[in-house]
C-alpha cells in the first residue's frame, strides 16, 4: 500500500534539528506501508545534520520500503547532494 506524507505538515518550511527528523523517520519506519511518497513541497531548507539523518534512514530501509521524493526544491536537493558527496569521500579513504 502507498502513502503520501507531506513534510510541511510536520516541519513547516524548514527541517532543522536532527532529533525532530529522527523521531519523524522512526514513525515512518514503523508504518505498515511498503511505499512512501515524501512530498517536499514548501520545504525551503533542510540542515546538513537532518539531510545526513535522512540519508542514513533511507539506506537502512533499502529493500524494505520504496521511498519516493517529490517536489524537492533545488536548495534541498543540493544539501542532499552535499551530504552524499561526503559519504563517497569517506568511503574512499584508506588507512
Question: Which CATH number belongs to the domain containing residue 15 in this structure?
Answer: 3.30.750.24
Does residue 85 form part of some domain?
A: yes
Establish if 62 belongs to a structural domain: yes
60, part of any domain: yes
Compute the distance between CA of residue 36 and CA of residue 95 in angstroms, rounded to an integer: 38
Q: What is the pLDDT of residues 44-95, one digit of tens each?
A: 999 999 999 999 999 999 889 999 999 999 999 999 999 999 877 666 555 5
Q: Is the pTM of this model over 0.85?
A: yes
pLDDT in tens, 5-33: 999 999 999 999 999 999 999 999 999 99
**Residue in the block written with cell 525532530:** 20
Task: Let me know if residue 95 belongs to a domain.
Answer: no
Range of 12's domain?
A: 2-90
| Residue 67 counted as domain residue | yes
Which distant-in-sequence residues (6+ apart) come within 8 Å of 2 by Cβ? 33, 34, 35, 36, 37
Count of domains forming the chain: 1
Amino acid at each position: 500500500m502507498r502513502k503520501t506524507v507531506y513534510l510541511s505538515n510536520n516541519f513547516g518550511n524548514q527541517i532543522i534539528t536532527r532529533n525532530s527528523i529522527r523521531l519523524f523517520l522512526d514513525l515512518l519506519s514503523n508504518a505498515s506501508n511498503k511505499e512512501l511518497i515524501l512530498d517536499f513541497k514548501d520545504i525551503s531548507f533542510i540542515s546538513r545534520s537532518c539531510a545526513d539523518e535522512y540519508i542514513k534512514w533511507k539506506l537502512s530501509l533499502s529493500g524494505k520500503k520504496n521511498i519516493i521524493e517529490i517536489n524537492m526544491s533545488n536548495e534541498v536537493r543540493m544539501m542532499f547532494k552535499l551530504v552524499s558527496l561526503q559519504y563517497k569521500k569517506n568511503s574512499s579513504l584508506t588507512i
